[in-house]
Amino acid sequence: MSSDLASKIVSENLTITGLAGRYAVALFDLAKEAKNLKKIAQDMVDLAQMLATSTDLKAVTLNPVISAGDKGRAMAAVAKAADFDPLVANFIGVVSANGRLDHLENIISEFGRILAHHNGEVSASVTTARKLTKAQLDALKTKLKSMVGSKVTVDTDVDERLLGGMVVKIGSRMIDSSLATKLANLEESMKEVG
């Protein structure tokens, strides 16, 4: 990958859409204004971890049978017990009051994307035919970092239909070195010859 292409990937504009994106942008802007971005970002990571590990907390955010008032009180208790920054606690309260707790995980995810973009980090999506080992993943991260010139966070996925190789998406760019694609290209070129 050329350095021009790498710099384009790093400097691409971040596209934010949808309800979760709007809430995430609002929180990010407030965090920057409060000059407390690091603490608020950590609180959002902690909240995401809580949602991922507690089925009860997740039920509070997703269950439509639980009243809005009960959800608000439960989330306020969680924010207090976790010692979240007051801005995060208030933000969760607003999300709850607006009946949007079912979007909370997406809001957190969008906040993370905005923060990564702000920090100059690039996100890559890698699909392989088999699960990568830690050594392979570390080597891939190192290679991608050298290609783009900044920190790269990698989300991995497995698709056995690739047969081998990998598909890497960085920003709006895609590098497809999968065996399935190479075979399809070979088949296409053989049709043209014969």
Give 146-172 pLDDT, tens digit per residue: 887 777 888 888 988 888 888 888 866
Name the one residue in this structure whose structure tokens are 């039920």: 59
Q: If we measure between CA atoms, which residue out of 54, 183, 25 comes closest to residue 115?
A: 25
Average pLDDT along the chain: 85
Structure confidence at residue 116 (pLDDT) = 83
Share above pLDDT 70 across residues of the chain, in percent, rounded to a whole number: 91
Buried b (16+ CB within 10 A) or exposed e, 144-172: beebbeeebebeeeeeeebeebbbbebbe
Domains and CATH numbers, the chain: 16-117 (1.10.520.20), 122-193 (no CATH)
Burial of 45 (0-12, 13-18, 19+ CB in 10 A): middle
> Taking the C-alpha atoms of 19, 25, 31 and 37 in order, what is their torsion angle to the nearest 10 degrees?
110
Q: Does the structure show a pLDDT above 90 at 40?
A: yes
Q: If we measure between CA atoms, which residue out of 125, 135, 132 comes closest to residue 172?
A: 125
If one compares 29 and 189, the residue with the highest pLDDT of the two is 29
Structure confidence at residue 182 (pLDDT) = 79
pLDDT class of 194 with cuts at 50, 70, 90 = low
Q: Range with the lowest mean pLDDT among 11-15, 31-35, 76-80, 171-175?
A: 11-15
- Look up the pTM and report it: 0.66
CA distance 104 to 81: 18
